[in-house]
Amino acid sequence: MIRPAVPSDVESLVELVHALAEYERSPGSVEIRADQLGGALFGDSPTVFAHVAEEDGRVVGMAIWFRTFSTWTGRHGIYLEDLYVRDEARGHGVGRALVTALATIARTSGYARLDWSVLDWNASAIRFYESLGAVPMDEWTGYRLAGRALDALGSAGPVEE
């Protein structure tokens, strides 16, 4: 069963985020706490959304996402931040069902697209995404400003005109 996450799912979502980081060979990178995720998902002005896959009362998969906006299309989109399915639930259509739920939201909301990133070495995920009809954005390179570089640039103060 695929459904929107509820507050009682937050601990399971954090656990799955840690499992995803382990799978992506970066377990030490996760800093999120349950109160942070809960606030982002269920606070006064939610900025992040989540759907879960549940089997026999246990959360076995998740899709954490947020809305984007394209100035080219003039419409919102969805950015899939994390998609993860527990090992024992893989190969049973859970991942497809989660992505289908987001595609349905995008379609019924009039959104232009559904975007995400995948690690270059994750051949099984790439095959899965391409089986859905997704195409790689080869001409685009993702960039990130974080840590000391973000602090340095952010502490420079506003630019005067």
* Residues marked as catalytic: 129
Contact (CB, 8 A) for 62 and 82? yes
Residue 155 identity: S
66: number of Cβ within 10 Å: 15
The residue with tokens 């420079």 is 156
Q: Give how far the C-alpha of residue 23 lies from the chain's centroid of Cα atoms, to the nearest Å.
A: 15
One DSSP character per residue, 136-161 reads --TT-------HHHHHHHHTT-PPP-
The strand order across the sheet containing 58-70 reads 2-4, 49-55, 58-70, 75-85, 114-115
